[in-house]
Structure formats: structure tokens, C-alpha cells
Amino acid sequence: MESISAALGVGSGIDITSLVDSLAAAARKPKDDLFTRRESINQARIQALNDISNSITTFASSLGALLDGGSLLKQPTSSDANSVSVSLANGVRIRDIASTIEVTQIAKGQTLVSTYLPDSSSPIGQGVLTLQSVHGSFAVTIDATNDSLASLATAINDAQPDVRASVITDGNGARLVLRGASGAAESYTLSVPPGTATGLERFIYAGSPGSGMTQAQAAQDAIATFDGVAVQSASNRLTGLIDGVTIDLHKAQPGTAIAIGSSNPTTDIGQAVRDFVDAYNLVHTQLAEAGRTSPTTGNGPLRGDIGLQGLQRQMSHLVDAALVSQGTGPHTLSEIGVKTNRDGSLSLDTTRLTAQLTANPDAVAALFYASQRSDTPNVAVRSTPGRVAAGNYAIANIIPSIAGSDASGTIDGLAMTGIGDRLIAPATSAAAGLILQVNANATSATITVDSGLSGALNAIKNSLVSAQGAFASSRDRLTKEASAISVERTAHEARSTRYKERLLTTYSAMDRRVAAFRATQSYLEQQVAIWTRSDA
């Protein structure tokens, strides 16, 4: 066992503890520095992978958010939006529109108003007030606990959700106001039992003047003429007249025809192309920095990484990839003026873009959107655009649903799952996610799926986050390397500790021997001194 004096280094006069610490630290420092460098490089690589994945995901998500509202598609227009406004359902594509609408009458709800009372807390009389409408008969009971104008409004609102009651107060006092839903069928009446004389009879309305309540506005339907066809609706919102387009009526103008047309948002489409080029270049710069080879500024954290190189190839193919396969307009970004520079970044030929927007605005917009279609009306595609990989898929051997049985068929030779009149592509198929609806005459079909720019970017994004994606092997390798470094560092710590213990044992033994030598020396010196004195 090491003596206290040896531990303190007092035997030989040498600071053994400090000496051993210095020697052990000097021995382990090269390895410590190596592990630190390896850990730093590995962490930088992992961080670079995460940053690039996040950038691609943000890129794809931002483009998707822009397209979700259908803002780049052909939009319906109105020549008088204050009287008639139009809007497009999300993602719906429309053809050119050239229609007219004349609004003779807009839909209104029945409004009733009572006589004045002093204020909203004024008693109104107790009893039962019955509200009768197309939705049924609703009894409103007023007793000592709710005998006030405000409580009457609350009780009506609780009893019948299609009639809204409120109390309006002005300089003359407070009045009960009832408002019904729009449409002629939504009129309503109020009554009390015969002989009621509590004051509650002030709120009856029998559908004609002379009742307790006064009709401020009658219920009526909207009446319009759309392309020469009479249209009547309980609502001022018309749907179904133009597929995917909602028409809202705001004001009647008998004798005035309002034009409903369509236009392409060419300015927005052009800006979307420019925004894409700018966003692409930001990501391109990030990829280039991560993979750079430079003797002066240093190599990038992912230099030589196979996953990064694969991603760069995928991104570079976006410019010349066929994003749509139909129509006579442009099918690629390069055809609308997007060019690849020598360094891999993109630039935009605005003259060419302007020419394409003028000649083929629909086709330019279509480059952004995923689309899918069937070559026969007997088979309809029901899956959400953008969820199925681009390609042409052969549907064969279709047996329609008969007498409640499930339909059946194959896609590229693989059996599809039938649920009623629906066919679903198997998960192992390249068309995973495809859903078809077949009718009784269906036998076969060819389904064409175009990715559009949004689908192409999503495919790249998905390849990054999937277990088989471009970065999957890189992440696995770096994760294993981080684990290996940790194991090696732990082993190095153990070796360093044992080495320090050996040094301490060795130098402690030396210290004890030196101490013994000093003790012998001191003894001899004492004896010599004694002998010398004796001789004298």
C-alpha cells in the first residue's frame, strides 16, 4: 500500500502526484485530441444532414402551401364583384368561363320587431310563447325566474337555433328583434294560448299586420337568371351552376346582366417561377457548401458523401424532368426559361417565361400541380393528387361490383384490393395509394399520373426521410461512427486510468527507495560524525 508520505511526495522531496498527473496527461493528450476531432467532424456531418433535410422539407412544404389554395390555377371572375362574387374550390381546375347572371332578388330571412319596453330587464308577462316554423313547434316558457325581455331572448335562442333573438336598445327603450334564416320557407309565427292577458301576447305574430310583433323584413328566396335559365335558391350562395365555382349574391340588380368569366393569374404564376428559382439556389448553395473540396477554406462536412451526391443529382434533374405528359404546352421547367448554370445554380430567362405565360398560361401553371387521369370514363381516379408516384399504370381484368360483391382487377399484373366499386393498388405496387372507382362497363384502363413540380419535390423530400432514402445510409454510418467513437473513448479512458495507476505505483516505489537511501545516508553521516569526534 502506498504510504502517506509517498502520496504526498515527501519521501524523496519530489511532487509525485503532480509528476504522475503531468506524465499521464501528456500520454493521453494525442488520443484525446484525436477523439475530439473525430467527434466534432462526425457531429458536423450529422448536423449538415439534418440542416439539408430541413431545408428540402421547408422547400417542398412552402411550395405545397402556395399550391394548396389553387392560387396559380385559372380563376373565375365577375364584372361586378360588389353585386356577385365568385370563388374557386381548392385544387379545382376550370375551363374558360363565359356566362352571365341577372339577380332579380336576393334571399332574405324574416325579421320581426316588438314594441318598446323601458329596458331589457322590464317584465314581459308570464306564460307560454310558441314559435312555429318549418323546423317544428318550439315552446318558450316564461315564469317568475325569467320574466324579462333579455331572458325572453335567451329562452328563444335556447329553444330554436334557426331563429336568433336579440334585444336592441335606443333612446326610446328596448325592443325584441327576431331574425330567421334566409329563404321563403324559413318564415315563422309566434302565438300564446287563447285568453292570455299577462302581457306576453305583445310578442305574438300570426303572419299578418295587426299582430303583437311587426314584420320588418319578409322571408324570400334568391331569384336569378343564369345563362337564360331561371334559378331560385333559399341561400345567396349558389353552387353547381359551374363545376367547382361558388357564386355569392350580394345585391339585386333587375335588368342588369353581370358577366362571369375566367382569367389566368399570370403575374402570380411568374412570381412563383421566380420564387422557385430563388429557393432552389439557396438549397443548391447549401448542398455545394456541405460537399465542397477546398485546400484553402477547408472541405465541407459532407465531402464525398454518397447520399449528398445522390440528392444533388435529384435536384439537378428537376429542370429537365417531364412534370406533365399531356397537352401541347411546356412539359419541363427548361421550356419556360429555367436554365441550369455551369455551377449548378439556376437562372431564369424572363423573356421566354413571359412568352410562355402569354401563349400557354394554363400549361405553365400545370407544371406546378400533380395530376392524374384515366383514359376511360368507366374508371375514375379517386385518390388525392400528389399521393401516387408519377407513371402510366395498366389496369386490366376488371370485374365490376355486382349485387354487393367487391370489384376486382389488376394493376401492372398485381392484384388490387376491391371494396365495393373501389379498387385500391397494393402497397407493394409502384402506384401505392392509387384508388379507382369502376362502373358496370369497366374492363380495363390506363391511368396516367403526373407529379408536377410539387410532386417531384415531395418525392425528393420523402426520399430523405424514408428508411431507404438518399441520406439513410449516411445517417446509419454516422450514427454507428458516433457509437464507435464513444466505445473507443471509453476504452481509452480505462487504459489511461490504468497507465496513471502504473505510473503512480512505479514512482511511489522509487520514492520509498529514495527515502530509504536518505535514511541510510543520514545514519551513516551520523556515525561518521561520531567516529570523527571519538578520534579527536
Give the mean pLDDT per block of 10 residues along the chain (536 residues): 46 75 83 83 86 89 81 92 92 88 97 95 95 93 95 92 93 96 95 93 84 92 97 96 95 96 93 94 92 79 85 91 86 95 95 95 90 92 86 94 92 95 94 94 93 87 75 81 87 86 83 78 82 69
Q: Which three cell numbers stand for residue 316?
A: 439537378
Residue 65 CA from chain centroid, whole number: 7
What pLDDT, on the 0 to 100 scale, is given for residue 401? Answer: 93
Beta bridge partner(s), residue 99:
260
Residue 397 CA from chain centroid, whole number: 38
Pick from 255, 107, 127, 251: nearest CA to 183: 107
**SS3 of residue 520 by DSSP:** helix
CA distances from 85 to 68, 251, 491, 522 (A): 21, 10, 75, 114
Consecutive H or E run containing 26 = helix 16-68
The DSSP secondary-structure symbol of 402 reads: -
What pLDDT, on the 0 to 100 scale, is given for residue 536? Answer: 53
CA distance 348 to 535: 113
CA distance 434 to 389: 9
Entry pTM: 0.70
What pLDDT, on the 0 to 100 scale, is given for residue 1? Answer: 44
Q: Which three cell numbers stand for residue 238?
A: 349558389
What pLDDT, on the 0 to 100 scale, is given for residue 7? Answer: 46
Question: 82 with 256: CB under 8 angstroms?
Answer: no
CA distances from 5 to 1, 21, 58, 87, 499 (A): 12, 17, 67, 93, 22
Consecutive H or E run containing 153 = helix 149-159
Instruction: Indicate the residue type of 481.
Output: E
Beta bridge partner(s), residue 139:
130
What pLDDT, on the 0 to 100 scale, is given for residue 187? Answer: 94
CA distance 201 to 194: 9
Beta strands in 382-466 (DSSP E): 391-399, 408-411, 414-415, 417-419, 422-424, 435-438, 445-450
CA distance 33 to 485: 12
CA distance 186 to 180: 7
What pLDDT, on the 0 to 100 scale, is given for residue 188? Answer: 94
What pLDDT, on the 0 to 100 scale, is given for residue 499? Answer: 82
Question: 403 with 395: CB under 8 angstroms?
Answer: no
Q: Which three cell numbers stand for residue 188?
A: 315563422
Sequence-distant (6+) residues with CB within 8 A of 225 are: 101, 102, 104, 231
Measured from the Cβ of residue 98, the count of other Cβ atoms closer than 10 Å reads 10
What pLDDT, on the 0 to 100 scale, is given for residue 107? Answer: 98
Question: 414 with 428: CB under 8 angstroms?
Answer: yes
Instruction: Indicate the residue type of 110.
Output: Q
**SS3 of residue 344 by DSSP:** coil
How buried is residue 202: exposed, middle or buried, by Cβ count under 10 Å (0-12/13-18/19+)?
middle
Q: How many CA atoms lie within 13 A of 284 on its CB side?
A: 20
